[in-house]
Amino acid sequence: MRAVVALFIGLAVVVVVRLVMIQVIEHERHEVQADRTWAIETKGPRGAILDRNGFPLATSIDAWEVHVDTRLWARSEFQPTDASRRLAELLRAPESAVLSLAAQTHAGGGHDALIAYGLSNALGAQIHAEALHGVQIRKTSSRRYIEGSMAAQVIGLVGRDEQGLAGLEYQLDGVLAGEAGLLVQEVDGLGQPIPFGPRAERPYQQGASVVLTIDRNLQWLAETTLQRAVEQWHAQGGHIIMMDPRNGDILALASLPTYNPMTIDLDLPESMALLRTRAASDIYEPGSTMKVVTMAAALDAGIVSPDTTFVDTGAVVIDDRTIKNFDLSYHGEQTMTQVLQRSLNTGSVWVAQQLGARTFYEYLYRFGFGDSTLSGLPGEIGGVVTDSTDIRWSPAQLATASFGQGVAVTPLQIVQAYATIARGGVPVRPRLVTAVITEDGVQRFEPQTGTRVISRQTSSTMTWMMQAVVDGVLGHPAQVNGWPVAGKSGTSDVIESGTYLVGESLASFAGFAPANDPRVVVLVRIDRPQGEIYGGIVAAPIFSDLMAQVLPYLGVPPTAYIANPGDWNTAPGIDPDDTQETSDGEHQQDALTADVADDEEPASPVTYIQDEEDDQ
């Protein structure tokens, strides 16, 4: 037993002696060895971001970084030296700033201070040749955005460390950045790598490239068109979104204001707001564009048909609140088609009441409102739908929600809802990425569809009614010669700090074409235009101009089609002899043309009126 105890005591003495030797006697030698070894994280080039045709929107080029081993500069207590002075000269930076960066890193327990990045090959080679004490040059890459601000709120940008900060650069950072490697090597007393010295390396994995659904040419068209419109109307911003309803591909997504990722100063507080993809992250009241959803729900539930009538008295009172038509007009007996053509608030309220709250909100949820579209854009939200199960709900909220007030949606949700109607009643997820390209091959992503929202018959009938809104009205500004168009305008109130702003609006138009075989859904929204507030006046002509250029580009040639308002006097599949007439046809005609502005010529049974709402 004594022998065992003696053995343990002996071993303990040996361990203690060895620790003393390492910590005291050999400390200086180990410190020198640590100073002579650098472990460096290596990164390969970040993957490219390409448009749908392979055109580069974001790429990486070779560049150089300047690093300082703070352990070597700490010996001079980060005071000016020949090395710090010369490095500052080459970088054209204050020497105090260079020393401060190194000192801050060292104070935080780090030994590897990044002093500068994005250096050209020439400057990197020059600094390397100087062999400055404690200074190392490392090859890296620098992000370049080929088209400047184009699609900036979709693509996003990277920070100084080449990590994604916004947009798809942030959302897909793990895919684009690849996997870092590690290099361990011996350096000399100046902190420079020793040629042929000991080294160990774990290679990096290069980042994958991503192919988007964005079409560079259509994106350019959307952005330049939006810029002109904002300038024309002295507006504060806006959105233009184009989607292929067949597969959900986002062909263009333009938003203003925007930024240039190559020049934006992220130190400015106002810059951070520009980084949001507002088409998916910011909500608004959609106004009359929501009337399409209300009517589609009622059609699908079998509550109404295009020729179902109601009597428009110009106002409806709910919970001591009076809701009126936007122009304070009344029109007597109206069909559901005329409700959409005239954009009657009272008609939409009547339709929602026939549906009932439970069914109405069920259809809103089916169309995707209240939930994210799962587009893959960072910061996307689902909007706000306060239904009848909420303690704050009242019957007045059902009424206002029917014409797009009291609910909050994103522009992308409106596009998805219209695409659902355009493609036969089955929703499709908005898609921004079609493929990821790696060294091992190409991974493709197929379109994702959801559960049927409305029947194919309802979709067809709703498309007919939406076409009646545009092509069923003589001279409607959204018409496009050569193609049938289905759509609806909207005028949304602007809310700031919980208060509606008088005289301010978000003017929009959403629709698709060709109506008989939809190839593209387009939303145009102009924020706070000056001089005019209505979507039918501000946004509809922009929609028309875009469609006239987009459809030929997509390979849809124009036909001899010309809008004829007379084609929409009778609902599809209904015998003209079976349609209901008013008790006084002549009086009804007078009512339909009575609200035409003085400078407009009444020329059709349903004359185009400012196609908007106002519940005041």
Domain ranges of the chain: 38-186+205-212, 280-430+446-516+531-546+562-593
Contact 278, 311 (CB under 8 A): no
pLDDT for position 563: 81
H or E element, residue 71: helix 70-73
CA distances from 20 to 12, 17, 35, 334, 431 (A): 12, 5, 21, 98, 64
Structure tokens at 35: 């100073």
Q: Which residue has the tokens 């007030």?
A: 405
Q: Is there a shared CATH topology between the 38-186+205-212 domain and the 280-430+446-516+531-546+562-593 domain?
A: no
Nearest one of 258, 242, 224, 291 to 535, comparing CA atoms: 291
Q: Which residues, in sequence order, are bridge partners of residue 506?
A: 492, 527
pLDDT higher at 108 or 590: 108
CA distances from 108 to 42, 350, 378, 391 (A): 22, 67, 32, 52
Rounded to an integer, what distance in angstroms lies between the CA atom of residue 132 and that of residue 105?
Answer: 19
pLDDT band at 589 (very low <50, low <70, confident <90, very high): very low
**pLDDT tens digits for 505-525?**
999 999 999 999 999 999 999
Structure tokens at 446: 């197929």
pLDDT band at 194 (very low <50, low <70, confident <90, very high): low
What number is the average pLDDT over the span 85-101?
90
| 85: CB partners within 8 A, 6+ apart | 95
Length of the chain: 616
Lowest mean pLDDT across 348-357, 468-477, 598-607 = 598-607
pLDDT higher at 416 or 201: 416
Count CA within 13 A, CB hemisphere, residue 378: 17
**pLDDT tens digits for 434-488?**
999 998 899 999 999 999 999 999 999 999 999 999 999 989 999 999 999 999 9
pLDDT higher at 156 or 200: 156
Rounded to an integer, what distance in angstroms lies between the CA atom of residue 313 and that of residue 298?
Answer: 21
Rounded to an integer, what distance in angstroms lies between the CA atom of residue 517 and that of residue 507?
Answer: 27
pLDDT higher at 121 or 591: 121
How many CB atoms are located within 10 Å of the residue 311 CB? 13
Rounded to an integer, what distance in angstroms lies between the CA atom of residue 463 and that of residue 457?
Answer: 10
Cβ density class 256-290: b for 16+ within 10 Å, e for less: bebbebeebeeeeeeeeebbbbbbbbbbbbbbbbb
pLDDT for position 10: 52
For every residue of 562-573, DSSP letters joined together read ---GGGGSS-TT
pLDDT band at 258 (very low <50, low <70, confident <90, very high): very high
pLDDT for position 571: 58
pLDDT for position 25: 45
Q: Which residue has the tokens 């079409």?
A: 215
pLDDT for position 585: 32
pLDDT for position 614: 39
14 pLDDT above the threshold of 90: no
596 pLDDT above the threshold of 90: no
pLDDT band at 75 (very low <50, low <70, confident <90, very high): confident
pLDDT for position 293: 98
For every residue of 143-189, DSSP letters joined together read EE-TTTTTTHHHH-EE-TTS-EEEHHHHHTHHHHH-B-EEEEEEB-T
9 pLDDT above the threshold of 60: no
CATH number of 280-430+446-516+531-546+562-593: 3.40.710.10
| 281: CB partners within 8 A, 6+ apart | 377, 378, 379, 380, 381, 410
pLDDT for position 401: 96
Cα dihedral 539→540→544→545 (10° resolution): -30
| 607: CB partners within 8 A, 6+ apart | 473, 474, 592, 593, 595, 596, 600
Pick the CATH number of 38-186+205-212 from 3.40.30.10, 3.90.1310.10, 3.40.50.300, 3.30.420.40: 3.90.1310.10
151 pLDDT above the threshold of 80: yes
Count CA within 13 A, CB hemisphere, residue 361: 18
Q: Select the highest-mean-pLDDT range: 36-50, 182-196, 240-254, 493-507.
A: 240-254
**pLDDT tens digits for 313-322?**
999 999 888 9
DSSP designation for 357: H
**pLDDT tens digits for 29-41?**
444 444 566 666 6
Contact 239, 255 (CB under 8 A): yes
- pTM to 2 decimals? 0.83
